[in-house]
Every structure is written in structure tokens, then in C-alpha cells.
Amino acid sequence: MQRLLALIPVALLGACAVSPTPQYDMRFGEAVNQAKQQMTANPNPAPVQAAIGMDGKAAAEAHGRYQDSFKAPPPVVNVINIGGSVGGGN
């Protein structure tokens, strides 16, 4: 009787070893991987692309202002008229 009781857990675990959905298990995670690939804008960009339509000095100044915009937070805008009308009308 003890042998029979000892074999029951082994038999139950063996039944769980076979997947009821082998076709789904083979492709598990494909949807996530496909979505990540589709969200990648340009996985193989060109090494260097010229800024078409801008001269070098303008492009350098624009790049400098862009880099400086990350050094300090934008200025705080004071809102005076909260919930009121602009023209004073009804």
C-alpha cells in the first residue's frame, strides 16, 4: 500500500510534463519579439547623413541650442488667470 501511495505523486508529475499546447509553446514570445522589431525605427542607419538645406554654421548653432536645452529646466510660466475668462465677458 505504501508503494502505491508513493507512486501517485510521481504519476501526477509525469502527467504535467507533456504540454497540451505544443504548437503554441514552440512560438511562445514571437509576438513580443515581432512588436519590438516593428518599433525599432531604423536598425541599420547610415553612418553619416548631411543636413540637407542648412549651411554648416546654422546647423552647428541649432545643434548647440539643442544640447543647451537639456542643461537647465524650462522657465516656469506664471498663470495669473486661473479658471476665469480672458476678455472679462460673461
Q: What residues does each domain of the chain span?
A: 1-70
- C-alpha 90/C-alpha 81 separation (Å) is 15
Concatenate the DSSP letters of all residues of 54-82 into one string.
Answer: --HHHHHHHHHHHHHTTTSPPPPPP---S
- C-alpha 36/C-alpha 34 separation (Å) is 5
64-84, pLDDT tens digit by residue? 998 988 888 777 887 777 666
pLDDT at 88 over 80: no
pLDDT at 63 over 60: yes
Model pTM?
0.29
- C-alpha 64/C-alpha 75 separation (Å) is 19
1: which DSSP letter?
-
Residue 51 pLDDT level (bands cut at 50, 70, 90) = low
